Structure 1
Amino acid sequence: MRPAPSLTRHLLAWVLGALTIVWATFIVVGYKTGEHEADELTDGHLASVSSLLLPLAQGGLAPNGVPPRMIAKPELKAHDYQSSLTVVVWDAQGRLLSHTGDAPAPPFEVPEGFASVSLGTPAQAWRAFSRWDPARTVKLTVMLSEAERDELAADIAEQVTEPGLWLLPVVALLLGLAIHRGLKPLRELAHDVHALDPHRAHKVQAPGRYEELAAAVDAINRLVDRYQLVLTRERALANEIAHELRTPLASIALQARSVQDAPPGPSQAAAVARLQEDALRAGDVLAQLLALARTSRAELDEAAQQLDLDAVARRVVSEFAPDAHAGGRELGLASPGPFPVSGHPVLLELALRNLVQNALAHTPPGTQVEVELDPAARSLQVSDDGPLRAGAPGEAASARVQPLRLGLGHRVVEKVAALHGATFEPDVRLPGERRAWRILFPASAPQLQA
C-alpha cells in the first residue's frame, strides 16, 4: 500500500517554492544592482581623478614635451579595486601634453563628459571622462578599460549576491525544522484521535487550544457525542427488542407444544389462534426493528429536504382508510392546508404510519381515529375517542380500553421526532374523552431555494 503523503513535506515544498521565487528575484536584482553601482563607482572614480589632476595640468603637467609611457608593474596592483587608469592632456590647440597609462591616446575631439570609445588595434573599448579647465586652455581625459571596469562590476555584484547563495539552503533547513516543530500540535491531535475508544465517552482535547485546531476538535467531539448517543440508543433498543421478543417467542413455543399435545377440539383451536397471534406479534416486533434501523441509517447518511406534511398525511390516510372501514373504525384527516417542514419524507411517513396503525390496531370497533395537522402550532397528532369495551355496557369511564402503545412503534416515532428536532408527546388528554399522540415540530426554518 502506498504511504500517505506527508503534510510537512507538502507544506515545506510550497513554502520553499515561494521562497525560491523571491530568492531568485532578489539574486537577479542584487546582481544587476551591483553591476550598476560598480559602473557608477568607476565613473565617479574617473571624474574624481580628473578633478584632482586638472589643476596640475594648468601649471604645466609636462613642460618638456610628451613624457614616456609609464610601465606599470603587475605586482604593484595589489588591491582588487585598484584600477589601471590612463591620463591624457592636451592644450587648447590639440597638442598632446601628457599621456600616462596603457590606453592609446584618444582623438582630441572626444566630447566633454563620459563616453565609451574604441581604440587600438585590435580595437578595445575604453570608458573615458573628458573636461576642460575653466579657462579652456587645457583639456584632460581619464580613461579606464571597459573589460577591467566590467570585471570590477562583476566582482562587486558577486560579493553582493554571494550571501544569498548560501542563504537559501540555511533558510530551507531552518524552515523545515520550524514547520516540523510547528505541526507538533497537529500530530498530537492525530495521536489523540487514533487513541479514541468507540466504547468509551472520551473526548479529544485540543493541544494548547490553538484557534486553528479548535474547529477540528469541536467537530471530532460532536461526532464522538453523536456516536455515543447512537450507541446508547442502540443498546437500549437491543434490550427492548430482547424483552419484546422474549414473550411472544416463549408463548409460540408453549402454544406449539399445546397444539401438539391437545386433542382436536376447542382447546386446540384456541391454542392455534394464540399461536397465530404471537407469531404476528413477533413479526410486528421485527418490522419495527427494521424501521428503527432505517431511521439510524437516515440519521447518519441522508440529508433533509423541504416537504409538505399535509401531502404525506393525505397519502397515509387514504391508504389506511379501507382497512379502517373494514375493521369498523372511522379514519379522518383534519388539515387546513400545506404544512411545510424540513426533514426526511420517508421517515416522517413511517412515523405517521406507526401512529395510525397503533390507533387502528389497539382500539375496538366503533372508534373514530383522526389525523390532525396544525401548521400554526407546528403540530401533528393522531387522536381517538376510545369507546368502551364491547360487551361491557355500564362500565365506568376508567374501564376504557387502554391502548398498548408504549412498545417499539412509539420508539420509532420518538426517534424520528428527535431526528427532526421535534418533541413526541404520547397519550395527551383532549376534551371529550379523547386522547392523542402528538409530534411538535420546531419553529419553521427558511424555505430551501429551488
Structure 2
Amino acid sequence: MRSARGPSLTRHLLAWVLGALTLVWATFIAFGYKTGEHEADELTDGHLASVSSLLLPLAPAGLAPDVPPAPAVSAPDLKAHDYQRTISVVVWDAAGKVLSRTGDAPLPPFASPEGFASLQLGQPPQPWRAFSRWDERHRYRLMVLLSQRERDDLAADIAGQVVEPGLWLLPVVALVLGLAIHRGLRPLRKLAEKVHALDTHDAQKVEDSVRFQELAATVDAINRLVDRYHAVLVRERALANEFAHELRTPLASLALQVREAREAPPGPLQQEALGRLEQDALRAGDVLAHLLALARASRAELVEAAQPVDLDAVARRVVSEFAPHAHAGGRELGLSSPGPFPLSGHPVLLELALRNLVQNALAHTPRGTQVEVELDPATRALQVADDGQQHAGPPGEAAAPLQPLRLGLGHRVVEKVAALHGATFEPEVALPDARRAWRIRFS
C-alpha cells in the first residue's frame, strides 16, 4: 500500500533551479541596466564633444563680433528619432561676449569650467550636461549643452532596450526547465513504480537495467536490501520452525508430568514427577528466552543503528553478575582483559551473546571448573574458555549444571549476534592444557 503523497520532487527541483536562475537573472538585469545607463552617458558625452569639434572650426569664419546672437530656438520636430536630442550651442569671444546662441538652454556663465560639466541653469535651476572648449588661438569659446532630463531619458531608453530580452527570457526558460525536469525524472518515476510492485515476501528484485549511473546505484541498493530482508526472513522462518520443534517436546512432557504428578500418590514417585516437571518447565522457558533473543537481534539488524561500545565494560558487567552464581555452583568465573575494547555495535545484543556463552559454560561443566572470559583487542577476539575436561568425572557421572540450558540454542543466538556485527563465531576451539573456548572474532 502506498503511503500518503509528500512534496513533489519535480516541483522541489524546479523551485531550486528557478530560484538560482532568478538570482542570476536579476543580477544580470541589474548589471545590464547599469551598463546601459553608463554607455548612454558616454554616448551623449561623446555626442557633445563631437558637435563641439564640428562647430568650433566654423566659428572664426561664420561668426564676427558685430553679428548679433541668434535667438534661442526650440523646434519640436528636432526629435524625429529615439536617439536624437535637442542640442544647445553657445559661442563667446575671448572677452566673454556671446557671439551665437542656439537651442533652448538657459545662457550659461562664461566662467563655467572647461570640458565636461554638469550645470544648474535657469529659474528654477534645472540640470544640464555641458561640454566647452576654446579654439586653437584662444579667440572663441564654444559650449554644447544637453538637458540632463533628456540625457537620463536616453540612458533609460538604452538600458531598457538592453534588459528587455531578459524580461521575457525568464518565463520561457522556466517553462522549458519545468518540461525538461519533468521529462528527465521519468526514469525515477518508473523505478518507483517497480519498487512499489515488489513483493516483500519473495526474493523478487528490480531486474530491469537502467541507463543512468545514479539510478543504477539506487537499484543496486534496493536489490541488496531485498536480499538482506529475504535472508533474514528465511533465517527467521527456519529458526521459528526449529524453536517450535524444540518447544513442542518440553510442552508435551509438561502435560505428561503434570498428569503423572497428579495421579501419583504422595511420596518419592510424586517428588520425582514434580522434579521432572520443574526441569521441563525450565527447558520451555529457556527456549522461549532464546526465541525472544533472536527476535531482538533481528529487530536490531533491520531498524537499530550501531553505536560505540566498550566490550571490556560489557564483559565486566556480565562477569560481576554471574560470579556469585558460579561460586555457588562450585565453579570459578574470572575475566582476563588488558583494558578497553572499543567497537561499533549493539551493546544489548553483545551482552546477550556473552551472557549465553557464560551461561552455557557454567551450565555444562562439572564442579571445580575454572571459566574465564578473555578479551584480546589486538586480535579483535572475545572468548569464553574453561578447563572442564580436567575436572570431568568417571564415565556415567553427570555434571551438575546450574540450569538446564540448551547449548545448541544458545549458540544459535551467539551466531546471530556475531553475524549482525560482521564477526565469526568459533565454537569449541581447542586450547593448550586441555582447555577449550567459544570464541567470537570481530573484523
Shared fold, TM over 0.5:
yes
The aligned residue for residue 278 of structure 1 is: 280
The aligned residue for residue 380 of structure 1 is: 383
The aligned residue for residue 161 of structure 1 is: 163
The residue identity in structure 1 corresponding to 2:55 is: L
Is 2:317 the partner of 1:315? no
3-state SS of 2:307 partner: coil
Is 2:213 the partner of 1:210? yes
Q: CA deviation at 1:354?
A: 2.9
The aligned residue for residue 408 of structure 2 is: 407
Preserved contact between residue 255 and residue 272 of structure 1 (Cα < 8 Å):
yes
| Percent identity over paired residues | 64
3-state SS of 1:436 partner: strand
Preserved contact between residue 333 and residue 372 of structure 1 (Cα < 8 Å):
yes
Q: CA deviation at 1:422?
A: 3.0
The aligned residue for residue 143 of structure 1 is: 145
Q: CA deviation at 1:35?
A: 2.1
3-state SS of 1:136 partner: coil
How far apart are the structure 1 equivalents of 2:108 and 2:149? 17
Preserved contact between residue 427 and residue 435 of structure 1 (Cα < 8 Å):
no
Q: Report the CA distance shift for 1:318/1:111 in structure 2 as closer, same or farther (over 3 A).
A: closer
Preserved contact between residue 188 and residue 207 of structure 1 (Cα < 8 Å):
no
What whole-Å deviation, never above 9, does each CA across 1:8-29 have from its counterpart, x for those lacking one?
3334334433433333333333
The residue identity in structure 1 corresponding to 2:163 is: T
Give unpaired runs (5+ residues) of structure 2.
399-403
The aligned residue for residue 31 of structure 1 is: 33
Work out which of the residue numbers 46, 50, 53 in structure 2 matches 1:51. Answer: 53
The residue identity in structure 2 corresponding to 1:417 is: A
Q: Report the CA distance shift for 1:414/1:101 in structure 2 as closer, same or farther (over 3 A).
A: closer
Q: Report the CA distance shift for 1:323/1:156 in structure 2 as closer, same or farther (over 3 A).
A: same
The aligned residue for residue 254 of structure 2 is: 252
How far apart are the structure 2 equivalents of 1:345 and 1:102? 94
Q: CA deviation at 1:40?
A: 1.6
What whole-Å deviation, never above 9, does each CA across 1:160-194 have from its counterpart, x for those lacking one?
22222222222332333334344445444444443
Work out which of the residue numbers 100, 103, 125 in structure 2 matches 1:101. Answer: 103
The residue identity in structure 2 corresponding to 1:151 is: D
Alignment of 1:343-358 (within 5 A): 343-358=345-360
How far apart are the structure 2 equivalents of 1:243 and 1:2? 42
Preserved contact between residue 78 and residue 86 of structure 2 (Cα < 8 Å):
no
How far apart are the structure 2 equivalents of 1:238 and 1:246? 12
How far apart are the structure 2 equivalents of 1:290 and 1:423? 22
The residue identity in structure 1 corresponding to 2:199 is: D
Higher mean C-alpha displacement, 106-115 vs 229-238: 106-115
3-state SS of 1:373 partner: strand
The aligned residue for residue 436 of structure 1 is: 436
Higher mean C-alpha displacement, 180-189 vs 266-275: 266-275
Is 2:25 the partner of 1:20? no
Q: CA deviation at 1:266?
A: 7.1
Q: CA deviation at 1:264?
A: 7.3
Q: CA RMSD in A?
A: 3.7
Alignment of 1:328-367 (within 5 A): 330-333=331-334, 335=336, 337-338=338-339, 340=341, 342=343, 343-362=345-364
Q: CA deviation at 1:244?
A: 0.5
Preserved contact between residue 311 and residue 338 of structure 1 (Cα < 8 Å):
no
Higher mean C-alpha displacement, 133-142 vs 295-304: 295-304
Q: Report the CA distance shift for 1:322/1:219 in structure 2 as closer, same or farther (over 3 A).
A: same
The residue identity in structure 2 corresponding to 1:227 is: Y
The residue identity in structure 1 corresponding to 2:293 is: A
How far apart are the structure 2 equivalents of 1:268 and 1:160? 108
Q: CA deviation at 1:157?
A: 1.7
The aligned residue for residue 400 of structure 1 is: none
Q: Report the CA distance shift for 1:78/1:232 in structure 2 as closer, same or farther (over 3 A).
A: same
Preserved contact between residue 283 and residue 405 of structure 2 (Cα < 8 Å):
no
The aligned residue for residue 426 of structure 2 is: 425
Alignment of 1:61-140 (within 5 A): 61=63, 65-66=67-68, 68-69=70-71, 73-75=75-77, 77-140=79-142
Q: CA deviation at 1:291?
A: 2.5
Q: Report the CA distance shift for 1:410/1:138 in structure 2 as closer, same or farther (over 3 A).
A: closer
The residue identity in structure 2 corresponding to 1:315 is: S
Is 2:295 the partner of 1:293? yes
How far apart are the structure 2 equivalents of 1:372 and 1:71? 113
How many residues end up aligned between the 2 structures? 426
How far apart are the structure 2 equivalents of 1:366 and 1:186? 66
How far apart are the structure 1 equivalents of 2:134 and 2:338? 107
What whole-Å deviation, never above 9, does each CA across 1:20-76 have from its counterpart, x for those lacking one?
333333333322322222222112112111211222222124697236548565345
3-state SS of 2:130 partner: strand
The residue identity in structure 2 corresponding to 1:420 is: H
Preserved contact between residue 113 and residue 130 of structure 1 (Cα < 8 Å):
yes
Q: CA deviation at 1:366?
A: 5.2
The residue identity in structure 2 corresponding to 1:77 is: K
Compute the TM-score of the two structures, normalised by the length of structure 1: 0.79
Q: CA deviation at 1:304?
A: 4.4
Compute the TM-score of the two structures, normalised by the length of structure 2: 0.80
Preserved contact between residue 116 and residue 125 of structure 1 (Cα < 8 Å):
yes
How far apart are the structure 2 equivalents of 1:97 and 1:337? 110
